[in-house]
């Protein structure tokens, strides 16, 4: 291993700074700055059309940033060296597998393209995921293709794994197997994972960091623990005037009933508990939210 | 291993295809023989001759696989380290080529016994060139369908080789062909000497596919070569192109054979193949159409699939563009080489008017240069050859376009000038394309139904 590689192993895996991306005159990504370090398992959340795929593809150098820059292990992503590419695994949103090949032929081809091919892992995963090596890819179902794409992305032991909605076509059993595999993978040293998914309940079992894209901007870049601690549900007894509500910082949602109400608050801290008590509220209890609820509240979907 | 068994091993590897393809070939031979004999017994006097011509044409198609397999063996570490040396391999290939030349000679002799030596010389020259060169898959298919489509024009009722035999241009063509053959042999020999061993990461992939024979070719490639892997990805799933070619080829063949059979069954004259007489314009037009249509489709397909390879293949965008260009060049050369070869054959058989032999000479030269172009595409270990190859390809293209157009219009100078302008424009477009590709956005390339 070269000195540069060794250095990059311990440093930042991926970095983007003030990233902006325009396609056909439309701004898709705006002012995005982020870093991914070894060990990070990042979940990318966002509504349809929020720019998740564009962000992932831009980070990996498929397209050029209109402004700002992004680098992978210190190399500009659109000019990555061969060594750098060998350390990346990618599962695209839509399968790009050659339909005329069988999985066996494809593995043979990829083995030549990937020096660090882990044949044992492939041999273990294929039967476990009920994939046939002799079936032509075009005859496979969407779920099977997606599984195969995941196997291909994992098989060369990448240090950065990027998955763009990898579980969209998977059944619940396959999803569970996939996340188990991903957890095993994430436990290895110097690995980083970024994946987008709409199935948030699955995601929260594995990620330790969350990115939320909203209108092309990164509205949230926090660790999962931080997110759980900072976005909370506050239940209370008493009455809160409209003016007091407006004054509450980070209020995402509020509900009232006859005896009290609930507030969903962002950027929660102990100091704000005292502030709420000063508003005359009683029996204040603070509880956590699931990631799905957090996502919905952050995106305003629960206002209705 | 004795020298006889060495030759036998080489010959077996070079000529015996895998099971699926063997069945196809055997079926073709048996069916053609049966139909020819049946038609002959029913009174069609030219049926046997036509059958022989057809099988010879099929042999020609098969011949294109020969240099390809030779290259596989030459690049194989296991082969070079074995007791079977490259010289045995080359000699085996040459033997097969000689057999082919004899088959063609018999076919020609059955039509016209004169000047057979000159014809063999021409074929031997081109055959040697084929052995010295290398080939890729589309050429075989293209040649097959071109032959099937235009074979009628190769079977005129009466062919006189005498005017051609006395033609200065023909002999000049033979000399040029042989000289170029020697040059190619020398380059091959030098190549073998300079590269006795393939890089250690390369290995030979000779296992046969048990699938349909169309998938057979894709499996015979070098393992570990980035460019071969690129070709494998972009061409393996070229089934739409093959479907198009197979479909259109079969439609034409059915039209020719079906129409002829129908005419004969209705009591008309037996025309096993339609004849073009002197309609050489149609002949060339048809030849040009198929590779052009294929080139467009393949080019588009390769460009789209390149997105998939961004994170897999080494190198930046510029290098990927070179891969694309090289793949496209291999395809183009392999598509046009049989075209020019067939034009030569057609001319030698008297299909193209004798006063157009200058076009044949141009074609022969262009063919040789194209073959050189082809060799470099195949043998080049990296993409640094591309620029040189393009410089060599430019005069070849000018020769082909100018020669063919000049032969038909009589305005040689203007046609060559026009061809030069067109080729110049193509090269300028190439420069622009490279500049554009440096900034290409892969996310904007369509990903749906890439394969």
Residues B186-195: tens digit of each pLDDT = 554 554 444 4
Q: How many residues does chain A have?
A: 304
What integer is the mean pLDDT of A156-182? 86
The residue among B312, B320, B444 with the most chain A CBs within 10 A of its CB, best to mutate, is B312
The reply to whether B451 falls in a domain is no
B449 in any annotated domain: no
What's the pLDDT score for residue B338? 54
Instruction: Read off the pLDDT of residues B82-141 as tens digits, 9 standing for 90 and up.
Output: 555 555 666 566 666 656 666 666 665 555 544 444 444 455 545 554 544 433 333 333
Chain B CA closest to residue A89: B311
* pLDDT on residue A283: 80
pLDDT at A261: 84
Share of chain A above pLDDT 70, in %: 95
Of residues B358 and A105, which shows the higher confidence score? A105
CA distances from B167 to A67, B107, B350, B358, B360 (A): 68, 22, 12, 11, 12
Of A64, A81, A88, the CB nearest to B441: A64
Q: Is B441 near chain A, with CB under 8 Å? A: yes
Determine the average pLDDT of the residues in A193-212: 86
Q: How many contiguous H segments (helices) and E segments (strands) does chain A have?
A: 12, 14
Residue B168 lies in a domain: yes
Residue B450 within any structural domain of the chain: no
| 8 Å CB contact between B236 and B211 | no
Interatomic CA distance for residues A303 and A41, integer angstroms: 29
Contact B451 A99 (CB under 8 A): yes
Count of Cβ atoms closer than 10 Å to residue A152 Cβ? 21
The per-residue pLDDT string of chain B (451 residues; one tens digit each, 9 = 90 and over) reads 455 555 566 666 666 655 555 666 677 777 777 877 777 777 766 677 767 766 766 666 566 566 556 665 665 555 554 555 555 666 566 666 656 666 666 665 555 544 444 444 455 545 554 544 433 333 333 344 334 433 434 344 344 444 544 555 455 545 555 555 555 555 545 544 444 334 434 443 433 333 333 333 333 344 455 666 666 666 554 444 444 555 555 555 555 555 556 666 666 655 444 344 444 445 555 555 555 666 666 666 677 677 777 888 777 888 878 777 777 766 666 555 555 555 555 554 555 454 444 445 545 555 555 555 555 555 555 556 666 666 666 666 666 666 666 666 667 677 777 777 877 887 788 888 888 888 878 876 654 333 3
φ, ψ of residue A210 in degrees (nearest 5): -125, 135
Helix locations, B112-225, DSSP H:
116-132, 137-154, 162-165, 168-194
B150 within domain boundaries: yes
Of B236, B314, B443, the CB nearest to A98: B236
Residue A217 has pLDDT above 70, yes or no: yes
| In-domain check, residue B187 | yes
Determine the pLDDT at residue B251.
Answer: 53
Question: Can you spell out the DSSP letters for B225-271?
Answer: -HHHHHHHHHHHT-HHHHHHHHHHHHHHHHHHHHHHHHHHHTTS---
B237/A98 touch (CB, cutoff 8 Å), yes or no: yes
Strands A41-46 and A192-196 turn out to be parallel
The answer to whether position B258 is within a domain reads: yes
Whether residue B230 lies inside any domain: the answer is yes
User: Is B313 in Cβ contact with A112 (below 8 Å)?
Assistant: no
Q: Check residue B186 and report its DSSP letter.
A: H
Token pair listed for A124: 């273990």
Give the gap in angstroms from C-alpha B315 to the nearest C-alpha of chain A.
Answer: 6
**pLDDT at position B140:** 38
CB contact under 8 A, B314 and A90: no
For A66, residues 6+ apart whose C-beta sits below 8 A from its C-beta are: A20, A21, A22
Chain A: give the shortest CA distance to residue B23, in Å: 22
Q: How many domains does chain B have?
A: 1
Domain span including residue B266? 3-444
For residues A83 and B283, which has the higher predicted lDDT (pLDDT)? A83
- How is residue B307 annotated by DSSP? G
Which residues of chain A neighbour B205 with C-beta distances below 8 Å? Answer: 108
């Amino acid at each position: 291993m070269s000195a540069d590689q060794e250095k990059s192993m311990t440093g930042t895996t991926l970095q983007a700074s003030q990233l902006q991306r325009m396609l056909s005159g439309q701004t898709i990504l705006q002012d995005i700055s982020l870093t991914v370090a070894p060990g990070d398992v990042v979940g990318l959340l966002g509504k349809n059309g929020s720019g998740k795929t564009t962000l992932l593809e831009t980070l990996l150098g498929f397209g050029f940033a209109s402004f700002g820059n992004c680098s992978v292990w210190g190399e500009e992503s659109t000019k990555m060296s061969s060594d750098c590419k060998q350390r990346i695994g990618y599962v695209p949103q839509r399968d790009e597998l050659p339909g005329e090949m069988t999985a066996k032929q494809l593995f043979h081809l990829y083995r030549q393209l990937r020096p660090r091919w882990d044949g044992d892992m492939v041999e273990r995963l294929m039967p476990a995921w009920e994939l046939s090596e002799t079936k032509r890819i075009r005859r496979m179902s969407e779920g099977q293709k997606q599984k195969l794409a995941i196997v291909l992305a994992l098989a060369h032991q990448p240090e950065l794994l990027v998955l763009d909605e990898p579980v969209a076509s998977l059944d619940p059993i396959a999803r569970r197997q996939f996340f188990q595999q991903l957890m095993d993978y994430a436990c290895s040293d110097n690995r980083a994972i970024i994946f987008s998914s709409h199935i948030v309940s699955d995601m929260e079992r594995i990620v330790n960091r969350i990115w939320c894209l909203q209108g092309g901007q990164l509205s949230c870049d926090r660790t999962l623990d931080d997110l759980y601690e900072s976005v909370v549900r506050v239940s209370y007894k008493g009455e809160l005037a409209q003016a007091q509500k407006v004054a509450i910082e980070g209020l995402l949602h509020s509900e009232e009933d006859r005896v009290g109400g609930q507030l969903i608050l962002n950027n929660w801290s102990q100091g704000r508990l005292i502030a709420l008590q000063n508003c005359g509220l009683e029996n204040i209890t603070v509880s956590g939210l699931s990631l799905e609820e957090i996502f919905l509240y952050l995106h305003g979907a629960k206002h209705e | 291993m004795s020298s006889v068994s060495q030759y036998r091993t080489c010959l077996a590897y070079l000529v015996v295809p895998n099971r699926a393809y063997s069945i196809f070939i055997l079926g073709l031979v048996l069916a053609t023989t049966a139909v020819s004999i049946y038609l002959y017994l029913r009174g069609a006097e030219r049926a046997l001759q036509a059958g022989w011509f057809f099988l010879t044409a099929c042999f020609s198609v098969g011949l294109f696989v020969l240099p390809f397999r030779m290259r596989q063996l030459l690049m194989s570490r296991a082969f070079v380290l074995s007791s079977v040396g490259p010289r045995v391999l080359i000699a085996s290939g040459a033997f097969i080529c000689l057999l082919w030349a004899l088959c063609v000679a018999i076919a020609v002799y059955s039509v016209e016994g004169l000047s057979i030596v000159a014809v063999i010389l021409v074929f031997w020259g081109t055959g040697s060139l084929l052995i010295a060169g290398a080939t890729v898959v589309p050429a075989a298919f293209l040649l097959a369908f071109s032959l099937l489509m235009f074979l009628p024009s190769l079977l005129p009722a009466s062919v006189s080789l005498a005017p051609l035999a006395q033609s200065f241009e023909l002999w000049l063509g033979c000399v040029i062909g042989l000289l170029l053959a020697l040059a190619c042999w020398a380059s091959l020999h030098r190549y073998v000497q300079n590269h006795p061993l393939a890089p250690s990461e390369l290995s030979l992939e000779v296992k046969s596919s048990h699938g349909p024979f169309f998938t057979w070719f894709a499996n015979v490639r070098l393992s570990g070569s980035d460019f071969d892997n690129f070709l494998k990805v972009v061409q393996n799933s070229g089934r739409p192109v093959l479907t198009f070619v197979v479909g259109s080829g079969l439609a034409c063949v059915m039209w020719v054979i079906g129409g002829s059979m129908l005419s004969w069954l209705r009591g008309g004259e037996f025309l096993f193949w339609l004849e073009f007489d002197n309609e050489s314009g149609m002949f060339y037009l048809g030849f040009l159409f198929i590779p052009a249509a294929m080139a467009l489709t393949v080019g588009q397909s390769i460009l789209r699939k390149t997105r998939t390879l961004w994170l897999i293949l080494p190198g930046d965008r510029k290098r990927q563009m070179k891969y694309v260009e090289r793949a496209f060049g291999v395809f183009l050369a392999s598509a046009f080489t049989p075209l020019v070869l067939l034009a030569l054959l057609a001319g030698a058989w008297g299909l193209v008017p004798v006063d157009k032999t200058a076009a044949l000479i141009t074609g022969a030269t262009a063919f040789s240069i194209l073959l050189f172009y082809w060799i470099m595409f195949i043998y080049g270990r990296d993409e640094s050859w591309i620029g040189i190859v393009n410089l060599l390809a430019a005069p070849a293209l000018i020769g082909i376009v100018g020669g063919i157009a000049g032969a038909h219009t009589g305005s040689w100078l203007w046609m060559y000038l026009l061809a030069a302008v067109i080729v110049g424009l193509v090269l300028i477009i190439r420069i622009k394309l490279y500049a554009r590709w440096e900034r290409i956005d892969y996310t904007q390339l369509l990903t749906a139904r890439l394969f």
